[in-house]
């Protein structure tokens, strides 16, 4: 049996704004740090940061470099260890190709979205696929979520994260941590 491999991708384009228009969103320092730290905690292979905007890729590279090579690496090696799992790319296809090359086969591409496209998987089903050694690339959207044209391309979606009330507007950092815990927590915690 192959070892499970879960990568995450934070997609900055194509995503939608509050009016449902397709846009590109900006990379944030908090998203880089917090999702990398959650990813490192749960054993994520690679955290892909996807943006077609060269200036945004350069910004992300400078932030990551500070913590992996610069003063930050010496001052806080744990932070550098987390940010070292980040790979910056210009499009989702680049992340899929990179993970395919790393794993020797195309990953199952799964999104968390309230707008279900493709096969609907619950967390238990996806944990079983991971346990069977299937590589999985888990997509998170920025702004108001992944654009419909991207959701049309995924293999499956996970249920949306929601609480007991009607309010549902988590930060992507919080959603990523919850999803990783649901998928990768030890058997005594599931």
| Contact (Cβ atoms closer than 8 angstroms) between residue 144 and residue 18 | yes
Residue 103 is predicted with a pLDDT of 95
Among 4, 68, 58, which residue's Cα sits nearest to residue 36?
68
Tens of pLDDT, residues 23-49: 999 999 999 999 999 999 999 999 999
Residue 1 is predicted with a pLDDT of 43
Sort 72 into a burial class: Cβ within 10 Å, 0-12 / 13-18 / 19+: middle
| pTM as predicted | 0.94
What residue segments make up the domains of the chain, in order of their start? Answer: 5-189
CATH architecture label of 5-189: 3-Layer(aba) Sandwich (3.40)
Sort 143 into a burial class: Cβ within 10 Å, 0-12 / 13-18 / 19+: buried
Residue 59 is predicted with a pLDDT of 98
């Amino acid at each position: 049996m192959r070892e499970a491999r879960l990568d995450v991708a934070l997609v900055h384009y194509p995503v939608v704004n509050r009016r449902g228009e397709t846009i590109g969103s900006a990379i944030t320092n908090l998203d880089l740090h917090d999702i990398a730290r959650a990813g490192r905690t749960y054993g994520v292979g690679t955290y892909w940061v996807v943006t077609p905007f060269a200036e945004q890729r350069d910004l992300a590279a400078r932030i990551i470099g500070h913590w992996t090579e610069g003063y930050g690496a010496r001052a806080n090696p744990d932070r550098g260890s987390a940010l070292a799992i980040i790979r910056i790319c210009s499009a989702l296809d680049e992340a899929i190709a990179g993970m395919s090359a790393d794993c020797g086969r195309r990953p199952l591409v799964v999104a968390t979205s309230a707008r279900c496209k493709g096969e609907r998987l619950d967390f238990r089903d996806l944990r079983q696929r991971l346990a069977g050694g299937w590589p999985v690339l888990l997509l998170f959207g920025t702004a108001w979520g992944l654009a419909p044209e991207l959701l049309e391309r995924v293999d499956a979606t996970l249920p949306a994260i929601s609480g007991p009330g009607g309010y549902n507007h988590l930060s992507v950092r919080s959603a990523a941590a919850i999803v990783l815990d649901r998928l990768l927590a030890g058997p005594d915690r599931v």
